[in-house]
Structure 1
């Protein structure tokens, strides 16, 4: 089947996903230097993971005390603006919640309903004024076990149950309130003033709550995202919706937003390599959204819900195939992923496997390069996580220190570690692959996918430019063929690692 690539405000080149301090060991200025030196010509854009105050809260910056303030340890807005002069920047708009340590919520705890910020936060009573029934509670879609409410004491011996979708330190915002809309609008304006070009709407699917619904990606949620997207577009920014959900739901969501993640791709590539069978991946690539960002790894885990069955409907993989996929990851990682996944390590999201993608593939340089090649040839704009770029292994020391499962794939690096990583044969091959993806105009053309079983061919054609990736897992054959104005070049992926 053939598809035309979807247009975007962003260049159709490889982007970097990174924490500022965890990659550089320093600040935004150091990241800018890195991008212009060791990483020159690699990334047209950068997704800056939360750089707001504080970067070291209970959820690595996704629980901002002040969403409009750059953490002073990283720099200031002027440094972000300067970084954005040469690279398209993506920033997280944490739509659903803010920190319980914020000045706004502390004022609510001090003054109760008299606080000017009372309407900024969502309570159970606002959504269920007559009380929450058992049936209504069962309808609510949950990303984690337990209640989605936390009780807080207020003045005059009163208390209130606030929505805390993720953790008790992340208080949900009432985005329908005037003060809630003003809060989000203020952040958008600051982003636009400082060269942010794309906004990742973090946890947007949970932003709207309505009694008698799942409170997740309901019709009113789409209306909210539409409105927020229009506001961003007027300021010269595009939005990326971060949703983990059933694959058919993802397809429908993609029709109504600027960009979505292709979260089904990472587990399907692993399944293909583990089973030597591309059939499920080929099926997905014939129906997957084309207005997407592709990833293999991110600051979160490897999603499973995106490929599984739901409510009696079949998934891209069966439950037995998913069980085998997860078990193979655990085996390949020597059991390290099991120590970081599910209830084993204080995880918020139980539908993800926490492990570096490199360890999920048993630290196989060849298998990992295959996976990256498939990602780069799949429809969408590719993003590469800093740990994945450098083929970092599971950080068991950090996991032991924090007991936060996702920290297994959130390493802190210093200059010496970075210099050593860049010399790895895999990293050199990866950089060559990135430059190939960036320089070939075929990827702005028409995509097609063919194959069956152990073989797959991903191809792009744009006027006189063609790019074709052919892989046979049984024969260990993996070749990229590039054609420009009738002249062809063959690149053997195994030789890239030599």
Structure 2
């Protein structure tokens, strides 16, 4: 009788997976030694765990906040301690995940030109502060993977012909045809740099202080893996792969989303999840929607992808009073399979990206949106096209100012419109993430923008903790109103199984002024009909139109209204949200 062989040990299975990844990335190299080195750096030869496929590492209680380490200041303590205290004080049992934007030493781009990956910026605190935060929250940190600062030791060594670094960067002949390369900036792609062997031209996707790393060199990959291991040791559970779509370069292509890029993401996931099966990878790919979706792979790349199309589509919906484009997009979004989900946000430290709505909003719609945002004090950042022209890349504005009116101008519905936007985000399939400044209703900071000399600073205010606490406690302050209403919605969301990130979602068709969708819990016991009046006019809808099951009792979780008559007509005030549930 044939005897089946014993299953391979986890370590051998992992070794083979890593080798297979590396063979695809580096087909000309002997990859076994590279695989051994990566396993050693991740200490997988000491402790190798077995991740479960298609396991959801989240539920409806997962709510994230996005913040800089120094968004809230107190003169008497390091900013990271102040941030930790603020979150503990104001969001107990509400926020369980915190994304601290790059907290490392840097030279520009508010942290994304990292000059030392293994240090905490001393102006913020130290690793002990990071560890303390990670004990109370799921900690999300940036892996700034595409580039490093021009002041990083690696690039300084490159300029001197020394190691490590002499072969860490992408050199390119300026006479090569690079017209197909997709750029998010208008600065020249190449930077002339003096080296011991003469002038070289190095690749700079995001600007000349951010030098692209050369992942075609496996020594660069090893350095990144070494950094990942440190971050795991320091309590990081969620890795945000910054600008990952750009990391592989190949002449004659657009150098975006290349096959090698996807394979590197798969490799990093394999290494990370065998070190910590509860760790999560999120890809930050501010690109058209279809390309963004590709980073799910077959549930073997990113656990989560940023839902980059949501912010511009939702803002467009609320300032036009028409949800047609948002509804069409939602119908076309595939449900995320178990083990993956969307990372939903509607405001961030950057701006409202316009690339993610390419193919979703036509040029005239985009131009109307841009003009409206400029009318509300927003600024426009640009990118270079291959014909030498420039095109709007993102709108820089605080979300509360972006929603201060409609295309017709400012009106009295700003706060209702702003809360409605967040109610929609909270109810959609995926994990919701609040930008800290949205939670507290921060408006455009023109002074900071002028001081820093770049548009994105308009939405990166630094609050003094005492001043912010006073505003949040003042019932007459819009900060108080926003804060309290959003806290209540967060609490409601956390209590609903139908708002699990992977619960069923279907788009409802109730006209262009009511954006509506249905969520059903994974055990099918709870249904929630989410109705949002996205216009500045009162709207009506018949309960019969949303097909409520008559044998159930239904209640709006937001207003606590109970619906007994299935033939009744509902009236929704401007920007009102209803979460009609059969279970509460």
User: TM-score interval w.r.t. the shorter chain?
Assistant: 0.7 to 0.9
Find the residue that maps to 2:90 and give its secondary structure: coil
Per the alignment, residue 133 of structure 1 pairs with 176
Per the alignment, residue 151 of structure 1 pairs with 192
The answer on whether the counterparts of 2:498 and 2:520 sit within 8 Å (CA) in structure 1 is yes
Residues 191 and 115 from structure 1, CA distance in 2 versus in 1: closer, same or farther, beyond 3 angstroms?
A: closer
Match of residue 70, structure 1, among 102, 111, 120: 120
Distance 2:576 2:288 in 1: 38
The answer on whether the counterparts of 1:297 and 1:356 sit within 8 Å (CA) in structure 2 is yes
Distance 1:281 1:328 in 2: 18
Distance 2:494 2:175 in 1: 52
1:440-464 Cα distance to aligned partner (Å, 9 max, x none): 2211232222023111222222233
User: CA shift at 1:86, angstroms?
Assistant: 2.0
The answer on whether the counterparts of 2:188 and 2:207 sit within 8 Å (CA) in structure 1 is no
The 5 A counterparts of 1:409-424 are 409-423=459-473, 424=480
Per the alignment, residue 216 of structure 1 pairs with 256
The 5 A counterparts of 1:296-315 are 296-308=346-358, 315=359
Match of residue 320, structure 1, among 348, 364, 369: 364
Residues 31 and 194 from structure 1, CA distance in 2 versus in 1: closer, same or farther, beyond 3 angstroms?
A: same
The answer on whether the counterparts of 2:311 and 2:347 sit within 8 Å (CA) in structure 1 is yes
Q: Does 1:85 align with 2:135?
A: yes
1:95-143 Cα distance to aligned partner (Å, 9 max, x none): 0111111122112222x2x433212222215xxxxx7433xx1111111
The answer on whether the counterparts of 1:80 and 1:194 sit within 8 Å (CA) in structure 2 is yes
The answer on whether the counterparts of 2:416 and 2:576 sit within 8 Å (CA) in structure 1 is no
Per the alignment, residue 286 of structure 1 pairs with 331
Residues 469 and 495 from structure 1, CA distance in 2 versus in 1: closer, same or farther, beyond 3 angstroms?
A: closer
The 5 A counterparts of 1:226-241 are 226-236=266-276, 237-241=279-283
Q: Does 1:457 align with 2:516?
A: yes
Name the count of aligned residue pairs. 464
Match of residue 251, structure 1, among 277, 287, 293: 293
Per the alignment, residue 21 of structure 1 pairs with 70
Distance 2:391 2:241 in 1: 17
Distance 2:133 2:148 in 1: 26
Per the alignment, residue 449 of structure 2 pairs with 399
Per the alignment, residue 36 of structure 2 pairs with none
Distance 1:488 1:370 in 2: 19
Distance 1:415 1:490 in 2: 33
Considering Cα pairs closer than 8 Å and 6+ residues apart, tell me whether 1 or 2 has the greater RCO. 1
The answer on whether the counterparts of 1:117 and 1:179 sit within 8 Å (CA) in structure 2 is no
Per the alignment, residue 374 of structure 2 pairs with 330
Residues 193 and 477 from structure 1, CA distance in 2 versus in 1: closer, same or farther, beyond 3 angstroms?
A: farther
Per the alignment, residue 160 of structure 1 pairs with 200
Residues 489 and 276 from structure 1, CA distance in 2 versus in 1: closer, same or farther, beyond 3 angstroms?
A: closer
Per the alignment, residue 555 of structure 2 pairs with 488
Find the residue that maps to 1:40 and give its secondary structure: coil
1:468-493 Cα distance to aligned partner (Å, 9 max, x none): 321232544599x999x956344249
Match of residue 170, structure 1, among 207, 210, 213: 210
Distance 1:142 1:169 in 2: 15
Distance 2:324 2:288 in 1: 19
Find the residue that maps to 2:272 and give its secondary structure: helix
Quick check: which has more Rg, 1 or 2? 2
Find the residue that maps to 1:20 and give its secondary structure: coil
Distance 1:425 1:234 in 2: 45
Per the alignment, residue 417 of structure 2 pairs with 367
1:66-94 Cα distance to aligned partner (Å, 9 max, x none): 01111122222222122112211110000
The answer on whether the counterparts of 1:149 and 1:164 sit within 8 Å (CA) in structure 2 is yes
Residues 144 and 366 from structure 1, CA distance in 2 versus in 1: closer, same or farther, beyond 3 angstroms?
A: same
Distance 2:343 2:456 in 1: 21
Distance 1:132 1:232 in 2: 40
Per the alignment, residue 467 of structure 1 pairs with 528
The answer on whether the counterparts of 1:15 and 1:384 sit within 8 Å (CA) in structure 2 is yes
Give the TM-score normalised by structure 2. Answer: 0.75
Residues 65 and 139 from structure 1, CA distance in 2 versus in 1: closer, same or farther, beyond 3 angstroms?
A: same
Match of residue 49, structure 1, among 90, 98, 101: 101
Aligned CA RMSD, in angstroms, stands at: 2.6
Distance 1:62 1:206 in 2: 15
User: CA shift at 1:329, angstroms?
Assistant: 1.4
The answer on whether the counterparts of 2:513 and 2:539 sit within 8 Å (CA) in structure 1 is no
**Which 5+ residue runs of structure 2 have no aligned equivalent?**
1-53, 384-389, 406-413, 474-479, 560-572, 578-584
Find the residue that maps to 1:52 and give its secondary structure: coil
Between 432-441 and 466-475, the greater mean CA deviation after superposition:
466-475
The answer on whether the counterparts of 1:17 and 1:46 sit within 8 Å (CA) in structure 2 is yes
Per the alignment, residue 201 of structure 1 pairs with 241
Find the residue that maps to 2:357 and give its secondary structure: coil
Distance 1:478 1:329 in 2: 29
Find the residue that maps to 1:121 and give its secondary structure: coil
Match of residue 504, structure 2, among 442, 446, 451: 446
The answer on whether the counterparts of 1:28 and 1:75 sit within 8 Å (CA) in structure 2 is yes
User: CA shift at 1:23, angstroms?
Assistant: 2.6
Distance 1:213 1:487 in 2: 55
1:312-352 Cα distance to aligned partner (Å, 9 max, x none): xxx11111111111111112x1xx213x5449xxxx99500
1:396-432 Cα distance to aligned partner (Å, 9 max, x none): 0001111111000000111123213423212211111
1:342-366 Cα distance to aligned partner (Å, 9 max, x none): 49xxxx9950000011111117101
Residues 255 and 283 from structure 1, CA distance in 2 versus in 1: closer, same or farther, beyond 3 angstroms?
A: farther
Find the residue that maps to 1:435 and give its secondary structure: helix
